[in-house]
Amino acid sequence: MSELLVKNAYVIDPVNGINGEVMDIAIRDQWIVEEVGSGAMVIDAKGQLTLPGGIDSHTHICGTKVNFGRYMSPEDMRAGRMPRRGSMHATSGYSVPTTYGNTYRYSTMGYTTLLEGAMAPLEARHTHEEFTHTPLQDTMANTLFDGNWAIMEAVRDGDMRRVAAITAWTLSAVKGFAIKLTNPGGTEAWGWGEDVTCIHDQIPHFEVTPAEIITAMITANEMLNLPHSVHLHCNNLGKPGNYTCTLDTFDLARDLNKNRQTLYATHVQFHSYGGSSWKDICSKSEEITRSLNSKPHIVFDMGQVLFGRTTTMTADGPMEFNLYRLHHNKWSNHDVELETGAGIIPVLYRRSNLVNSIMWAIGLELALLTDDPWQCCLSTDSPNGAPFVRYPEIIAMLMSRRYREEEMSSVHPGTEHRVPLPAIDRELDWEEIAIMTRAAQAKALGLIDIGKGHLAPGAEADIAIYPIQIRDVDPSVDYMKVKEAFATTAYTIKRGRVVARQGDCVVDGINSTIWVDPQVPPEYDISNDPEFVKKFDRYYTVRMRNYPVQDVYLERQVCLRPEVSL
């Protein structure tokens, strides 16, 4: 048994309604408790801002496509190199750091839980292998179902129970956490070099539409009673005028769950464009947030873009090809049989570029125009909009109009006529930032019950102490201090242990992977379904026996076993 007492912590804990109280936090082993003995180790937080450990609900850190981003980019790798030091391994990379680079940088920023945004089931083992080498955070994987043949066939046949059964078996086999749809239907069409433009296009050969897939998966998700909702990357990403597609997609979601949202829309910035071409592209953040404000059953993340060099990576293969045709830099693509796709290209977002400047503004607008911060998760879709190490800049901009104006003055001069940002006065407060960087994520992912995202007794002792006395700081003026404070914690505590201190990671750590195993009754076990098995054997290139991810890949794990209603 180990005991730790964090004294004089200035706590903001939105889940428990605590907004700026100086208090002590008692920790026994990995849990927060009511009190500890006098022998407990003491950390004096000295009134510094203390939050639950950060949670990233959409980031790309591990797996086939992330690693391919590294593989193809030695020029990015040489940008972030550190030697082995103390308990820290060597790291490389800026926009796509090595697994140790990710884990150390997230940890020193106070992040303790990460959701990998996209895992192809066939290649799940790879994601889990990298999770093992991401030791300072708990991890989960969104599992891709956007082009799943068996599911599209079941959707076409209108068999929702079968959709749910396939989903359950797959999630459980690959030790995934949630349903991810990336350009649903589009990734299958891309198997022929084609794409879908929006939710009502027919997918070649399968005779279903993206709308049907989305609706079916939302239904299946609720039948399986999964902790998270469907996690959706809408069709038609990154194209001028795509906001109407996004609005239509939002209209598909009805409020089906009293504990959380029914739909999580990711990187909405990339889906909020007006105009009909790159020449007249403009922000439609007002229309998008108007829809979101009227739909509390949708939660989203920003997908903020920041200027500079980064790498874009997504399962949305056709989108990356279009981007490649614009940028003419290198392009990788990796379609995955019977399931999904992937594309990767490096990009440079420039201030001097009008489109890039508009993108930058839209992300901020989405956060500032959404009334309820519980609906908006802070993200860059790292590394797509920018590497996650730049989150502190976003926080500072959301808290300071002055900072935004300063930035605005150096972007493309045409921007202000195309975006509402200059007219937005709102400055987010500390509690709203705490919500948008951990509490909203915990709620959206359904992790509060297992002790994530809050600091009440019973919670897991994942805590971030930032070196800032917020009572002495006016964030709208001292935004640089805000930025600095969120960049490096005084202490990051993970599972009751100090894992990072002032920028240094001090323990090896062991990651814990959270996954779901829906308790499907035997008659719905799809692995006994002759038709499913026959097609699997015939069209996959891996035998069904060799497909599931073995337990040995999860050194530590938290398996959630929802009771299903089929």
Partner 1 sequence: MKFDDVLCPFCGCLCDDITVTAEGGRVTGVDNTCLLGTSKFLGDNRLKNPIMRTDDGWKDVTYDEAIASTLDALLEADRPLLYGWSGTHGEAQCIGVHMAELLGAVIDNTSSVCHGPSILAIQEVGHPGCTLGQVKNRADVIIYWGCNPTEAHPRHMSRYTTYADGYFLDNAFRDRTVIVVDVRRTETAELADVFVEIKPGGDYAVLSALRAMVRGRDEMIPDSIAGVSKEQLRHIVEICKNAKFCAVFFGVGLTMTRGKYKNVRNAIELVDELSRHTKATITPMRGHFNVYGSNEVNTWMSGYPYAIDFCRGIAFYNPGETTAVDILARKECDAALIVASDPAAHLPSKCIRHLANIPVVQIDPYPNMTTAFCNLQIPVAVSGIDAEGTAYRMDGVPIRLRKVLETEYPTDTMLLGRIYEAMMEVRGR
Partner 2 sequence: MMRVLLEVKPRKKPLLPIEAECITPASFLEERDLTVWKGNRELMLSNVFNVSVTGEVDSVDGVEVVLRGETSRIKRVGEYMEGGRIIIEDDIGMHCGNFMSGGRIEVHGNAAAWLGREMRGGEIICHGDAGDYCASGYRGEKRGMRGGRVEVCGNAGDFAGEHLSGGSLIIHGDAGDFPGVEMRGGEIMIFGDCTRACGNMTGGRCHVFGTVHEMLPTFRNMGEVVHEDTGQVLTAFRGDVANRGKGNLFVGNYQYME
Closer CB to partner 2, 331 or 540, in the complex: 331
Residue 401, CA distances (Å) to 283, 395, 417, 435 in order = 19, 11, 18, 19
Closer CB to partner 2, 55 or 77, in the complex: 77
Closer CB to partner 1, 97 or 420, in the complex: 97
Binder of residue 86, out of partner 1, partner 2, none (CB less than 5 to 8 A by kind): partner 1
CA distance 81 to 85: 12
Compute the residue count for the chain. Answer: 566
| Residue pair 123/553 in contact by the 8 Å Cβ criterion | no
Binder of residue 338, out of partner 1, partner 2, none (CB less than 5 to 8 A by kind): partner 1
- Does position 92 interact with partner 2 (CB under 8 A)? The reply is no
Amino acid, res. 341: G
| Residue pair 435/374 in contact by the 8 Å Cβ criterion | yes
- Does position 75 interact with partner 2 (CB under 8 A)? The reply is yes
Residue 303, CA distances (Å) to 101, 134, 233, 381, 432 in order = 21, 23, 11, 5, 18
Closest residue by Cα to residue 160 from 79, 119, 221, 107: 221
Closer CB to partner 1, 39 or 83, in the complex: 83
List alpha helices for 175-257, DSSP H: 186-189, 210-223, 243-252
Considering only residues 48, 57, 64, 73, which one is a binding residue for partner 2 as defined by CB under 8 A?
Answer: 73
Closest residue by Cα to residue 492 from 195, 70, 48: 48
Closer CB to partner 1, 241 or 548, in the complex: 548
| Residue pair 139/116 in contact by the 8 Å Cβ criterion | yes
List alpha helices for 79-133, DSSP H: 99-108, 124-132
Closest residue by Cα to residue 63 from 124, 4, 132, 149: 124
Q: In the complex, what is the shortest distance from the CB of residue 149 to partner 1, in angstroms, rounded to a whole number?
A: 8
Binder of residue 471, out of partner 2, partner 1, none (CB less than 5 to 8 A by kind): none
Q: In the complex, what is the shortest distance from the CB of residue 318 to partner 2, in angstroms, rounded to a whole number?
A: 23
Q: In the complex, what is the shortest distance from the CB of residue 329 to partner 2, in angstroms, rounded to a whole number?
A: 7
- Does position 523 interact with partner 2 (CB under 8 A)? The reply is no
CA distance 137 to 494: 8
CA distance 257 to 208: 26
Closer CB to partner 1, 83 or 530, in the complex: 83
Closer CB to partner 2, 46 or 78, in the complex: 78
Q: In the complex, what is the shortest distance from the CB of residue 87 to partner 1, in angstroms, rounded to a whole number?
A: 6
How many residues form the binding site for partner 2 (CB under 8 A)?
7
- Does position 329 interact with partner 2 (CB under 8 A)? The reply is yes
Binder of residue 345, out of partner 2, partner 1, none (CB less than 5 to 8 A by kind): partner 1
Binder of residue 191, out of partner 1, partner 2, none (CB less than 5 to 8 A by kind): partner 1
Binder of residue 250, out of partner 2, partner 1, none (CB less than 5 to 8 A by kind): none
Q: In the complex, what is the shortest distance from the CB of residue 209 to partner 1, in angstroms, rounded to a whole number?
A: 20
Strand extents, DSSP E, 259-306: 263-265, 273-274, 282-283, 298-301
Candidate segments 58-66, 68-76, 246-254, 352-360, binder of partner 2 by CB under 8 A: 68-76
Closer CB to partner 2, 285 or 311, in the complex: 311
Considering only residues 18, 33, 72, 450, which one is a binding residue for partner 2 as defined by CB under 8 A?
Answer: 72
Closer CB to partner 1, 70 or 443, in the complex: 70
Closest residue by Cα to residue 162 from 223, 230, 120: 223
Q: In the complex, what is the shortest distance from the CB of residue 346 to partner 2, in angstroms, rounded to a whole number?
A: 9
CA distance 91 to 206: 44
List residues binding partner 1 (CB under 8 A).
62, 64, 67-68, 70-74, 77-78, 81-84, 86-87, 89-93, 97-101, 122-123, 125-126, 129-130, 133, 149, 190-193, 205, 321, 324-325, 330-338, 344-345, 538-543, 545-546, 550, 552
Which residue is listed with tokens 């993206």? 210
- Does position 85 interact with partner 2 (CB under 8 A)? The reply is no
Residue 511, CA distances (Å) to 3, 115, 451, 495 in order = 21, 13, 16, 10
Pairing of strands 298-301, 263-265: parallel
- Does position 326 interact with partner 2 (CB under 8 A)? The reply is no
- Does position 78 interact with partner 2 (CB under 8 A)? The reply is yes
Binder of residue 344, out of partner 1, partner 2, none (CB less than 5 to 8 A by kind): partner 1
Closest residue by Cα to residue 36 from 1, 61, 80, 71: 1
Which residue is listed with tokens 């009673």? 225
The CA-based angle 511-512-518, given to 5 degrees, is 155
State the binding string over 105-144 for partner 2 (x if CB under 8 A, else -): ----------------------------------------
- Does position 74 interact with partner 2 (CB under 8 A)? The reply is yes
- Does position 276 interact with partner 2 (CB under 8 A)? The reply is no
Residue 67 is given by DSSP the state: H
Q: Around Cβ 456, how many Cβ atoms within 10 Å?
A: 16
Residues near partner 2 (CB under 8 A) are: 72-76, 78, 329
